Every structure is written in structure tokens, then in C-alpha cells.
């Protein structure tokens, strides 16, 4: 299952839009709503070294990081293992195989040598299981009655350490995963989204394309699964999280007993196979995508934004700015939606370790596409002005974001996924200090973010349009860079 870990949205859409997607509503990851540069700073960003009172962490000798979240409100426990893997590790010949690996995780392994035996054990332990794949994280999780925790930890250990990658099972799963891809293609939005990724990321498109490539998925072999395992599936590249009605001191002992013999890789995968740096855009790029599936036009503008390695402070400013822009009271909404130029207008930022994209997504009035585009450009030019955002909007946004983050913690079996996402794309300290750093954001920070990453910066702009409508509107005459 492709992972959509998102900031709070009304409709979630980012990497893949399939009915099987688990929508973890994680505050602070990009949100796109549909009807349906590299600036190193020494800014005041502080990372808390202490965790909430119910969270505990430890690294065992083999390098496996262990996080425990205690919550005795219900007699359940969630076991999750997360690896730093995903499309950002994929060259074209491996594109989509992190997702396929996720599917193969829940198949035969050394201790349960067929999927039937695997599923029998799932039923015996009362497990609800799933996994997700995104650009920079793959995670697998079991939720089960707390009295089965020990056996659940052993079961997870078998799956993570000893997959068999049975050839017959894999042939079936290749078709299943490719079927997800085909369902995604049935969305009218897919063609625009995919084209945008190609324009924005260029030669490194595969590193941001979680769903992958049809031929690569269809022709994947057990040998390629083994290659992925040998690169990334090591304790020193993993986080084991246990959340729920548990006692941390007892669980730490269990983890060392069960996972202590899992051998470290002896290398850092990201030093041995470095992630290539994404090239900054050199010029603004406009393109038009035609699709018979599209009933109304879509316009998307996308910039290369900050990331957690090089400009952490801007990621907090991005959250505040995006929240303000998505309110009906924002100048953006009034200029585009209230005026009748658009049916919908949203701006978002997707936090990543390797270049998070900023997206302005608009559903224009089909009869006013040219006028809508002109107003979009005008609004971008005004975003850093002193009167574009009020002090009240800034303080309200920070308060609402804080409330949402507190709300995210209410369901521990879901919140554990939030924590593991931040472990992968930033750090657990980034998450635990999020509110502290969010509260520091002011107008100057917002203006710096806009001027560094948006205003007068190169971007990609795509228009999705039905071929019949294209013939009437002739967008090639106006949908182009100035």
C-alpha cells in the first residue's frame, strides 16, 4: 500500500490515489485538496532532547532503535517496524520495488513457509496488519491484544529478518501491485501528477515516484527483493516501535531477547549508496497535459521547497503559511474562489529530508482559465507583502496547528505511524520539538520562506485539460512562461 502521510486535509491526495491507501492524517506533511536554494541557516531551531512522559527510547547494541509509547486506555498493543527505504533509494531499474517489497513482507518466511501459514498465525494472534510505502519510509505494523505481545514481537521478527520471496507468490503479487498502478491511472488527476513529477525532478524522477514503473513491477524477481533487503533491511537502519498497553522496561527486555541476534549491516546504507541531490530548477517550465478523463481543467504550480536537512526552520514556516492560505478568509481564496475565477484553490508543502515540494493547486472556472492563471501569478507576487497576511491569521494558524498535533496523539495505534514518519524524514527530536519551534514563527520567517522558495523562483506549471476543451480554449496561447 502506498503511504499517504499528510497534513490535515479535507481530501487526501499526494503520491497515489487508490482506495486501498491508509490515510494517516499526520500534521505537517503536504496536503493537496482536489474535488475529489538550498539555504543553510543557523536560525533558532531547537530540538528537544526529552520525550513526553509516556514515551521511551533506546538503541540496542546491534543499532536497532526502539521506541515505546505507553497508553493503557485500551488492552491493545501495536508493533511497528520502519526502515529508511522508499522511492528515494530507487534508480529507474528498481522504481516501484520498495512498494512491492512491502507486499512481499506479509508472505512466506523461514518460520511460516507459506502465506497460508502466515495468515493462520495472524488469525491465531488476533492481528490486524498493514504496511505503507512513501518516498522516504516503509513501515509494517501489527495491532493485537496486549497478551499476545511477546508472540507478536516474535512474529514480526520472523517477517523482517527471514523473508523467503517465494517465486510463485511473487508472480501473483507483481500483478496485484501493478493492478494498483492501473487503478491510479484511471484517475483524471494521475496524468497531471505524473507529468509534474517528471518536469520537477528531471533525471531523478524515479526517486519521487513511489508507484513505480509497469515493466519494472511486472518483471521483478526474488533476486531484486533480496538486493533491497541486503541494502536497507538491517537493524541499524530500522526503528522498532511498540505502542499501547505495555510497560517499557519489560518491553525493552523482550526486544533485546528477540531482536538482539539480528546482525548489524556493518555499514551505513546512505554512505554506501548515497541519495543523489536533486538539481535546483534553472527556469520556469510550463506544460499542458491532455486527458479524456478530465471533465474540468486543473492547474498545478510546483516549487522545490525546503527540507529537514538544510532548512528546518523554513519547514515550520511552510506549515503556518499553508494553513493560512487554505482558509476561506485568505487573500488567495478570496482572489480566486470568491471572485468566481476558480472552484478551489489550495497551497501545500510536503516535508521531506530530500527537497519537499510546494504546490499551488487550483480548479479554475472552465470559462475563465486564462484570467485565473493571471490572478494566480499576481497572488504569488503579493505573498511576501506586509499586508498579505494579518497577525491574527498567523497566531490562529499556529494555535490550530498545535491543537491538531495534540489531537493526533489521541489514538496511539495511529500516532505511532506519525512518529515513525518523522524518525525517517527528520528525527524524533524534530517531532518532539515541533510545537516549540512552531510557536517561534513570525511574519519575518514567513516572508523569508516565500522569498527563498516561491516568489521569483523557478517553478513548474501544468494544465490538465480535456482535448475537446483544449481546442476551444487554445491554452497554448497563454499557458506559458512570461
CB atoms closer than 10 angstroms to residue 335? 18
Please report the pLDDT score of residue 482 as a whole number.
Answer: 84
CA pseudo-torsion sign 76, 421, 252, 56: negative
SS3 238: strand
CB atoms closer than 10 angstroms to residue 97? 26
Give the Cα separation of 263 and 167 in Å (integer).
Answer: 26
Bin 28: left if φ > 0, else alpha if -120 < ψ < 50, else beta.
left
CB 440 within 8 A of CB 265: no
Looking at the chain, which residues constitute the CATH 3.30.830.10 domain(s)? 55-272, 280-477
Give the Cα separation of 222 and 227 in Å (integer).
Answer: 9
Q: Based on C-alpha coordinates, what's the Rg of the chain?
A: 23
Class of domain 280-477: alpha beta
CA pseudo-torsion sign 448, 207, 178, 165: negative
Which uninterrupted H or E stretch holds 381? Answer: helix 369-382
CB 81 within 8 A of CB 160: yes
Q: In sequence order, what DSSP letters do the residues of 5-57 get, joined into one string? A: EESS-SS--SS---TT--EEE-TTS--------------S--------TTEEE
Q: CA angle, corner 301, sides to 419 and 448, nearest 5?
A: 65
Q: What share of the chain is helix, strand, coil (3-state, %, to 5)?
A: 45, 15, 40
Please report the pLDDT score of residue 41 as a whole number.
Answer: 32
Strand-pairing partners, residue 265, are none
Please report the pLDDT score of residue 44 as a whole number.
Answer: 59
**343 CB-contact burial (10 Å; exposed 0-12 / middle 13-18 / buried 19+):** middle
Phi, psi of 171 (to 5 degrees): -60, -40
Give the Cα separation of 281 and 209 in Å (integer).
Answer: 18
Give the Cα separation of 89 and 85 in Å (integer).
Answer: 6
Residues 6 or more apart whose Cβ sits within 8 Å of residue 234:
63, 262, 263, 264, 265, 269
CB atoms closer than 10 angstroms to residue 119? 15
Give the Cα separation of 426 and 187 in Å (integer).
Answer: 31
Q: In sequence order, what DSSP letters do the residues of 78-130 get, joined into one string? A: EEEEEES-SGGG--GGGTTHHHHHHHHHTS-BSSS-SHHHHHHHHHHHT-EEE
Phi, psi of 177 (to 5 degrees): -65, -40
Give CATH for domain 55-272.
3.30.830.10
**Closest-CA residue to 252 (of 56, 424, 390, 45):** 56
Phi, psi of 475 (to 5 degrees): -65, -25
pTM for the whole thing?
0.90
Provide the residue-wise pLDDT of the chain in tens; the chain has 482 residues: 644 343 433 223 333 333 332 332 233 333 333 333 222 233 456 655 578 899 999 999 999 999 999 999 999 999 999 999 999 999 999 999 999 999 999 999 999 999 999 999 999 999 999 999 999 999 999 999 999 999 999 999 999 999 999 999 999 999 999 998 898 888 889 999 999 999 999 999 999 999 999 999 999 999 999 999 999 999 999 999 999 999 999 999 999 999 999 999 999 999 999 999 999 999 999 999 999 988 899 999 999 999 999 999 999 999 999 999 999 999 999 999 999 999 999 999 999 999 999 999 999 999 999 999 999 999 999 999 999 999 999 999 999 999 999 999 999 999 999 999 999 999 999 999 999 999 999 999 999 999 999 999 999 999 999 999 998 999 999 999 98
Give the Cα separation of 401 and 316 in Å (integer).
Answer: 10
* Bridge pairing between strands 238-244 and 65-70: parallel
Give the Cα separation of 209 and 106 in Å (integer).
Answer: 23
SS3 327: coil
Phi, psi of 87 (to 5 degrees): -65, -25
- Biggest CA–CA distance in the chain, Å, is 69
Which uninterrupted H or E stretch holds 448? Answer: helix 443-453
SS3 string, 191-235, reads HHHHHHHHHHHHHHHHHHCCCCCHHHHHCCCHHHHHHHHHHHCCH
Amino acid at each position: 500500500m502506498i503511504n499517504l502521510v499528510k497534513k490535515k486535509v479535507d481530501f487526501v491526495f499526494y503520491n497515489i490515489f487508490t482506495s486501498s491507501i491508509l490515510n494517516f492524517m499526520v500534521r505537517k506533511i503536504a496536503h493537496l485538496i482536489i474535488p475529489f536554494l538550498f539555504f543553510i541557516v543557523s536560525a533558532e531551531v531547537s530540538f528537544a532532547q526529552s520525550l513526553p512522559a509516556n514515551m521511551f527510547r533506546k538503541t540496542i547494541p546491534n543499532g536497532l532503535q526502539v521506541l515505546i509509547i505507553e497508553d493503557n486506555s485500551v488492552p491493545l498493543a501495536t508493533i511497528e517496524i520502519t526502515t529508511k527505504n522508499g522511492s528515494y533509494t530507487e534508480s529507474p531499474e528498481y522504481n516501484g520495488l520498495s512498494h512491492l517489497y512491502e507486499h512481499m513482507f506479509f508472505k512466506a518466511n523461514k518460520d511460516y513457509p507459506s502465506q497460508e501459514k502466515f495468515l493462520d498465525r495472524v488469525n491465531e494472534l488476533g492481528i490486524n496488519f498493514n504496511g505503507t510505502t512513501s518516498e522516504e519510509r516503509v513501515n509494517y505494523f501489527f495491532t493485537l491484544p496486549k497478551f499476545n505481545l511477546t508472540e507478536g514481537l516474535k512474529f514480526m521478527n520472523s517477517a523482517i529478518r527471514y523473508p523467503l520471496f517465494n517465486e510463485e507468490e511473487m508472480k501473483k503479487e507483481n500483478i496485484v501491485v501493478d493492478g494498483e498502478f492501473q487503478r491510479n491511472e484511471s484517475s483524471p488527476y494521475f496524468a497531471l501528477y505524473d507529468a509534474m513529477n517528471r518536469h520537477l525532478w528531471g533525471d531523478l524522477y524515479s526517486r519521487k515516484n513511489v508507484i513505480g514503473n509497469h515493466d519494472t513491477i511486472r518483471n521483478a524477481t526474488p533476486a531484486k527483493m533480496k538486493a533491497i533487503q541486503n541494502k536497507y533491511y538491517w537493524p541499524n537502519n530500522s526503528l522498532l516501535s511498540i505502542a499501547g498497553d505495555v510497560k517499557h522496561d519489560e518491553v525493552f527486555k523482550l526486544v533485546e531477547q528477540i531482536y538482539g541476534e539480528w546482525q548489524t549491516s556493518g555499514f551505513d546504507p546512505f554512505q554506501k549508496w548515497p541519495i543523489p541531490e536533486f538539481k535546483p530548477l534553472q527556469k520556469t517550465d510550463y506544460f499542458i497535459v491532455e486527458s479524456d478523463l478530465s471533465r474540468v481543467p486543473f492547474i498545478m504550480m510546483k516549487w522545490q521547497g525546503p527540507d529537514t536537512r538544510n532548512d528546518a526552520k523554513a519547514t515550520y514556516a511552510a506549515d503556518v503559511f499553508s494553513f493560512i492560505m487554505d482558509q476561506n478568509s485568505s487573500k488567495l481564496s478570496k482572489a480566486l474562489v470568491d471572485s468566481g475565477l476558480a472552484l478551489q484553490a489550495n497551497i501545500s508543502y510536503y516535508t521531506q529530508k530530500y527537497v519537499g515540494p510546494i504546490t499551488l493547486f487550483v480548479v479554475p472556472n472552465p470559462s475563465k482559465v486564462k484570467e485565473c492563471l493571471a490572478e494566480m501569478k499576481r497572488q504569488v507576487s503579493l505573498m511576501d507583502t506586509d499586508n498579505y497576511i494579518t497577525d491574527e491569521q498567523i497566531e490562529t494558524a499556529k494555535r490550530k496547528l498545535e491543537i491538531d498535533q495534540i489531537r493526533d496523539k489521541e489514538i496511539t495505534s495511529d500516532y505511532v505511524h506519525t512518529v515513525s514518519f518523522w524518525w525517517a524524514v527528520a528525527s524524533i527530536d524534530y517531532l518532539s520539538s515541533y510545537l516549540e519551534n512552531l510557536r517561534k514563527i513570525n511574519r519575518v520567517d514567513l516572508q523569508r520562506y516565500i522569498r527563498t522558495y516561491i516568489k521569483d523562483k523557478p517553478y513548474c506549471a501544468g494544465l490538465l485539460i480535456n482535448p475537446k476543451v483544449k481546442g476551444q480554449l487554445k491554452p497554448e496561447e497563454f499557458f506559458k512562461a512570461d
